[in-house]
Chain A
């Protein structure tokens, strides 16, 4: 069992979940309540990673992060080194890849909050931020947990994007899924099985948590395999 790879995967998944929460909540709020007529275009962009092969996303991310790509050049100017094949590059690519898994459950749960409660909050003197903090957020807890857990689990299990953008550097970009692939390539089936089985158990536990929470919340949440 390659603990280095497992720890790296968990570190990556935690970073990505945290970033997705910070970026996803305001974006989901805007997507849930805005009446902008071109909103659907942004919704489509957010959902893109659901349908694109990870290699397509990874390929364009690699181009963008390369020494001549816009992101790569920006990064180089700021930090003095490239972005491709680094942990930071992996985080950026993974955030994009897991975007719909965080944003869509958030939108779904914001949208199920009764609009009359928002009206009630407004006539009681609360502005948007206070309404969001005191009413929308607490009533969206199941959706927020779903979003966090799905971002975490989806990042933990990603393969194609990591391979394209991160390569296979031990301790930097070699995540569990890459490690399993490596072992199979070198016919170490026993080692592959140990890691694969652990990933299977983790995924099952995570999904059980999501379903359990949704069941307690007593309503349907957005889940990617239900939306597809």
Chain B
């Protein structure tokens, strides 16, 4: 009983992290039509930057926010100076983001060495919290809560604000949005930076659970891809549902078929591709 409960909590936590990672990926893909293969690197880079910030004496949450901001600045530079130059050439953009991800991975290896670095759990959130008579790790509950808050915040941003309406218009039909006077290229930068920030932030708050090590980028990126293929690109609800499906599959898969966990993870993606190629919550291509 308790083993399954622990697994379930871990799954929810991991799903929450994946949501933070994939929401940005999905929006960037939906709006800009770029499968940004540097997204896993953003996640890893954020975590690595935070380890340095914490070593310099910043507290965990400042490190998480600032680490995310540094990643967002990097993302902004990539978007404005490289991806912008290649506007319209989608494949070239994919290849550039792939090349960049190799470069980021190698620089991280150089700066932070190949040893895994653990980010310490913030002191206030150590230990366990008792809920309904069962003890849960406090930090994992906090991460799940953060994911829920961000999901609500992102939903409000997209559904209730002018900026959100413009982003949705851009996802639906970028050309039409341009004609109505929306500066879609500025939206690109905003969404790209927001996605990078979310990924970097997720990397930091995932640090106490996953720690940071070379190859983390390559492990997270396919997960984000699976989430987006499952949920449908550009759909926030799709990312949310997809993230939790993947979170549960990953944790339960690892417990039940340790050698095949990674494969189990891709099965729902394959089924969705065959049955509903546009994703669970995506709209069919026009």
- Asked if A pairs with B, the answer is no
User: What is the interface of chain A, defined by CB distance below 8 A to chain B?
Assistant: none
